[in-house]
Amino acid sequence: MKFLIDDVNIEKIRDIYDKFPIDGITSNPSILSRYGKQPYKVLKEIREFIGEEAELHVQVISEKAEGMIVEAYKIVQELGENTYIKIPVTREGLKAIKILSKENINITATAIYTQMQGYLAGKAGAKYAAPYVNRIDNLGADGIKTAKEIHDIYKNNNINTQVLAASFKNSQQVLELCRYGIGAATIAPEVIEGLIKNPTVDMAVKAFKDDFEKLCGEEKSMLNCK
């Protein structure tokens, strides 16, 4: 499962990239708005940091297919080939996905709440489809089940699209989809930190250090013990 950061805060991105095995960054208009800076300035800084090879996912704003297509080309022109254009799976969005995919623009179909949206986006040629796990749960449906079923639909229909699950609230949701082998997950920094946060592990590591220092002295390690 690919592992992406769902944020544009460059300080948080640098810190998480430094520690976790990260494959790229996703953004959406709300995330950009929360950060409050000029979108292309922020996104170019991210591109420079992650390099040309890593995935950067950026969403269009237009509601009509023609506008989405023009925006898509502008985004790729500004941010490079390995930029995935996020297009909401609406009626107009599907039209844009179909056209842009034929023109070899990488598409991430987004705002997916149903299996049928997932199927249609894959059939239209999207590289990724992003079901919103937690938002689906909040509607009283089952976000994990939706993501898994979209993954199954692709496999059973020979559709070469990966699920890029989004909108996670906790580690369990991430783990469940990782276990299932879905293609990718994009996760907010706070949830990423929660994946590894465990006071019991910290206590175990501290006990190892304390025991070693009892043997060899304070601040000693395998580098300088005798």
Catalytic site positions: 86
Are the C-beta atoms of 88 and 111 separated by less than 8 Å? yes
> At closest approach, how far in Å is the CB of 156 from ligand G3P?
26
Q: Which is nearer to ligand G3P, 62 or 134 (CB)?
A: 134
> At closest approach, how far in Å is the CB of 169 from ligand G3P?
7
Q: Which is nearer to ligand G3P, 31 or 216 (CB)?
A: 31
Q: Which is nearer to ligand G3P, 101 or 167 (CB)?
A: 167
> At closest approach, how far in Å is the CB of 58 from ligand G3P?
11
Q: Which is nearer to ligand G3P, 90 or 134 (CB)?
A: 134
> At closest approach, how far in Å is the CB of 31 from ligand G3P?
6
- Written as six digits, the tokens of 199 are 């006071």
Q: Which residues bind ligand G3P (CB under 6 A)?
A: 6, 28, 110, 132, 134-135, 166-167, 188
Q: How far is CA 223 from CA 53, 210, 214, 217, 226, in A?
A: 36, 16, 16, 13, 9
- Written as six digits, the tokens of 163 are 């699920």
- In degrees and rounded to multiples of 5, residue 61 shows phi and psi of -110, -30
CA separation for the pair 100, 215 (Å, rounded) = 65
Q: Which helix (H) or strand (E) holds 12?
A: helix 10-19
DSSP secondary structure letters along 138-196: HTTS-HHHHHHHHHHHHHHTT---EEEEB---SHHHHHHHHHHT-SEEEE-HHHHHHHH
> At closest approach, how far in Å is the CB of 138 from ligand G3P?
8
Look at the block and give the residue holding tokens 């039209």: 95
Q: Which is nearer to ligand G3P, 62 or 220 (CB)?
A: 62
Plot region of 97 (φ>0 → left; ψ -120 to 50 → alpha; else → beta): alpha
